[in-house]
């Protein structure tokens, strides 16, 4: 008898896949198995439901749950435009959410860093859903411990390098801290989508949103890849890098940002890069409309998985004029 429904807890293998109702059943990202057994996993999805570092609208603590729910349609068919199943290439599990106590702020960094280090030390790659953007700092800390200083590709409306004292928990200063601590290789790193001002660029190459609109996707990718070379690239994707028309569900929206198609094309063009991890942050469902932001976040995550699968031998099966 063919199995149907509730793959999140019924599958016996991380490669298994069967039919689900898109509108029902247990929710995990891409309907992957909930598991904390890292011994037989290639990629681990986890959530960091923390948003106490926000400076404007809260709600990103609900982001991981919303992104998982928005992924149900993506799990239904083969990937577009790639035409393959990522589950045939990778063993993917959904670890669930890291337990973070908002009432013990002194534990936030160590809790997330230890969570990430445990996964990375088992030779798994991480796909992580925030949470506000501060969670990227301990994630980068753990990745730098494993890979050395990382090449950061940051999608964002803001630089997030405002003044940091090394202790403050603020979603607008943590990349200054990461640079000062040597976690980020500035010379290979790029910020894209920015449209707020800071007097200091901290050495990042900045491709502002207006610059991308004027110069296009291919020129942007050329600069990103030329800087990154083959250095380990960690992508931190703040959804406010998108224009509020495409991502209204976020805490600090800024007009004039990237369109959803631009973001997807940029992610799809990174197959030559040494991709080591991705976080998607600042999805705030209380401010979303018709799940627009969550659906986009889920698609960005899925496309990153597909780009990674191409690097590991997945064969594209494109049809029509893609």
DSSP secondary structure of 97-148: E----TT-GGGHHHHHHHHHHHHHTTT-EEEEEESSGGGHHHHHHHHHHHHS
pLDDT given for residue 197 in this prediction: 87
pLDDT given for residue 318 in this prediction: 78
Mean pLDDT estimate for the chain: 94
What's the whole-number mean pLDDT along residues 166-171?
90
Helix (H, G, I), strand (E, B), or coil: what is residue 206?
strand
CA distances from 267 to 54, 175, 279 (A): 26, 21, 13
Is residue 318 in some structural domain? no
Is residue 321 in some structural domain? no
* Domain CATH number, residue 218: 3.40.800.10
- Structural domain that includes position 302: 28-311
- Other residues' Cβ atoms within 10 Å of the Cβ of residue 235: 23
Is residue 17 in some structural domain? no
pLDDT given for residue 228 in this prediction: 97
Tallying the residues shown for the chain, one arrives at 322
Q: List, for residues 81-105, the tens digit of each pLDDT value.
A: 999 999 989 999 999 999 999 999 9
1: confidence class by pLDDT, cuts 50, 70, 90: low
Q: How many CA within 13 A on the CB side of residue 277?
A: 29
Is residue 106 in some structural domain? yes
Is residue 299 in some structural domain? yes
Q: How many CA within 13 A on the CB side of residue 276?
A: 26
What's the whole-number mean pLDDT along residues 229-237?
97
Is residue 287 in some structural domain? yes
Is residue 22 in some structural domain? no
Q: List, for residues 192-229, the tens digit of each pLDDT value.
A: 999 998 888 889 999 999 999 999 999 999 999 999 99
Query: Taking 80 as the threshold, does the pLDDT of residue 321 lie above it?
Result: no
Residue with tokens 């250095």: 231
- More confident position, 25 or 307: 307
Closest CA to 234 of 138, 91, 108: 138
Closest CA to 239 of 200, 284, 270, 178: 284
What's the whole-number mean pLDDT along residues 55-77?
95
162: confidence class by pLDDT, cuts 50, 70, 90: confident
Is residue 19 in some structural domain? no
How many domains is the chain built from? 1
């Amino acid at each position: 008898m063919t199995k149907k429904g509730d793959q999140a807890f019924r599958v016996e293998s991380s490669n298994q896949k069967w039919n689900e109702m898109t509108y029902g059943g247990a929710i995990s990202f891409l309907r992957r198995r909930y598991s904390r057994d890292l011994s037989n996993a290639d990629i681990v999805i986890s959530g960091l439901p923390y948003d106490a570092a926000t400076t404007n609208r809260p709600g990103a603590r609900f982001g991981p749950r919303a992104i998982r729910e928005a992924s149900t349609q993506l799990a239904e068919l083969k990937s577009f435009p790639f035409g393959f199943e990522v589950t045939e290439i990778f063993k993917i599990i959904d670890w669930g959410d890291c337990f973070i106590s908002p009432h013990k702020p002194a534990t936030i960094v160590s809790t997330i860093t230890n969570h990430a280090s445990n996964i990375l030390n088992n030779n798994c790659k991480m796909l992580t859903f925030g949470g506000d953007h501060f969670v990227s700092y301990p994630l980068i800390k753990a990745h730098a411990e494993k890979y050395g200083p990382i090449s950061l590709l940051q999608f964002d409306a803001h630089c997030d390098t405002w003044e940091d004292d090394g202790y403050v928990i603020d979603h607008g200063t943590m990349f200054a801290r990461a640079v000062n601590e040597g976690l980020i290789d500035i010379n290979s790193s790029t910020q894209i989508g920015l449209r707020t001002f800071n007097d200091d660029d901290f050495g990042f190459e900045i491709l502002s949103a207006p610059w991308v609109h004027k110069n296009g996707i291919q020129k942007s990718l050329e600069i990103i890849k030329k800087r990154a070379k083959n250095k380990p690239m960690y992508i931190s994707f703040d959804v406010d890098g998108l224009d509020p028309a495409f991502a209204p569900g976020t805490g600090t929206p800024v007009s004039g940002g990237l369109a959803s198609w631009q973001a997807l094309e940029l992610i799809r063009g990174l197959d030559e890069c040494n991709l080591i991890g991705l976080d998607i942050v600042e999805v705030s469902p209380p401010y979303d409309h018709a799940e627009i932001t969550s659906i986009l976040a889920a698609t960005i995550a899925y496309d990153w998985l597909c780009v990674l699968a191409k690097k590991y031998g997945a064969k594209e099966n494109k049809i029509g004029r893609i």
